[in-house]
Structure 1
């Protein structure tokens, strides 16, 4: 399986304020590998939530975004010691932190879990559709495939991209449209860096537990209703027999 392409940022924030106005700097390290050439150091300077100047190691100097920022960028760019110090920050700040981050976090992996279910296709030439949903895996790269009676199925298969959950984990959903055959075996197969061998989930065409529960609850309600109705009828008949008729004058 090919290695995944990673892109992350490390943030370092410095804040100070005076008389209600806030000035802050954000140090950011963008990288897609631990190689120094694949790392970009970015320093952004803000005043009252507006970025007025930025230094980027890929540009090599300051860039101003406001009138004040343009003046400051020109001033800093004319100072060789300031530029030399900022250009060295990529290795001093980013490299060490990225090496530690990569060894402590990016080398870890999380195993996926799979949910296989049947849905009704909205359109198409087939009668049925299966959805293989894979959740909570890391890193991003994953392979989801379908097998029918031991043979891989490549037609009538659609999949989403790997969707980020926002918490470092990912999910993906693969759809298979098919026409059911008696006695067939359909499987969803997941291959991922966290797995020593492919994770195989077989489709069980029997009624899902949730559907069985719905039927059981409905049947219980029906039986209870019949029992209450019968009890009411017996009570009514018993009371009717026990009445004493008094003749009128």
Structure 2
């Protein structure tokens, strides 16, 4: 699996007035390892949500984005003590904290769960389509493949990208268009860092429980209706047989 990439920010509000004007400073640390050389510091000043000056450790100097920011960038870039202070922030604000993130986030993994179901195919050449939906896994890197009688299927397969759920977890969906054959075995195989061995889910062509419940409810309703109809018919016949006909004059 490829190394992961993270960033975190430290926010410091410096000025806030009743009129709604706000200036604040943000430290942003971007990293893909705990080594200092792999850490990038972005130190920014904002006024009313507008970034007007930034120190980027990759550029190693201040850059201004407004007239006021350009003036301050020129002044601070000519101040060796200010540049030294910001270069040191990369170690103080970033390097001293990335270990916590690695231990609590990047070293963790969450096992996925798989839902295998069928949908109507959009192609006339394949009467059936299976969807292998993989949910709630971390980290992002994952491999989803289809097996047909134990052999990997490479054709008629389409997959989405890994989609973020905005809660650190991801999901992915793989589609297989196929023509059913008698006795064949179709499976979805998932490989992920959280799994000691591939997770293989076999396709069961029998109706899912929800569909079986619908059929059972419908059949029960039909039987109940027949029973009520029969009871009504018997009651009607008995009433008809017990009725006394009085001849008219």
Aligned to 2:8: 10
Report the Cα distance in structure 2 between the residues aligned to 1:138 and 1:226, rounded to whole angstroms.
Answer: 54
Aligned to 1:213: 213
Matched position secondary structure for 1:70: helix
1:50-99 Cα deviation digits (max 9, x unpaired): 21111111111111112222222222222111111001111221112112
Higher deviation after alignment, 60-69 or 82-91: 60-69
Report the Cα distance in structure 1 between the residues aligned to 2:77 and 2:243, rounded to whole angstroms.
Answer: 109
Kindly indicate whether the alpha-carbon contact (under 8 Å) linking 1:130 and 1:175 is maintained by their aligned counterparts in 2.
Answer: yes
In structure 2, the gaps of 5 or more residues are none
In structure 1, the gaps of 5 or more residues are none
Please give the TM-score of this superposition, normalised by the length of structure 2: 0.90
Instruction: Name the Cα RMSD after superposition.
Output: 2.1
Aligned counterparts, 1:192-203, within 5 A: 192-203=192-203
Matched position secondary structure for 2:30: strand
Aligned counterparts, 1:1-249, within 5 A: 3-15=1-13, 16-20=15-19, 21-234=21-234
Q: Number of paired residues?
A: 247
Kindly indicate whether the alpha-carbon contact (under 8 Å) linking 1:41 and 1:57 is maintained by their aligned counterparts in 2.
Answer: yes
Cα distance, 1:47–1:248 mapped onto 2, change above 3 Å: farther
Cα distance, 1:238–1:63 mapped onto 2, change above 3 Å: farther
Report the Cα distance in structure 2 between the residues aligned to 1:64 and 1:242, rounded to whole angstroms.
Answer: 104
Please give the TM-score of this superposition, normalised by the length of structure 1: 0.90
Report the Cα distance in structure 2 between the residues aligned to 1:237 and 1:23, rounded to whole angstroms.
Answer: 91
Report the Cα distance in structure 1 between the residues aligned to 2:39 and 2:231, rounded to whole angstroms.
Answer: 80
Matched position secondary structure for 2:182: coil
Report the Cα distance in structure 1 between the residues aligned to 2:188 and 2:36, rounded to whole angstroms.
Answer: 40
Report the Cα distance in structure 1 between the residues aligned to 2:44 and 2:237, rounded to whole angstroms.
Answer: 88
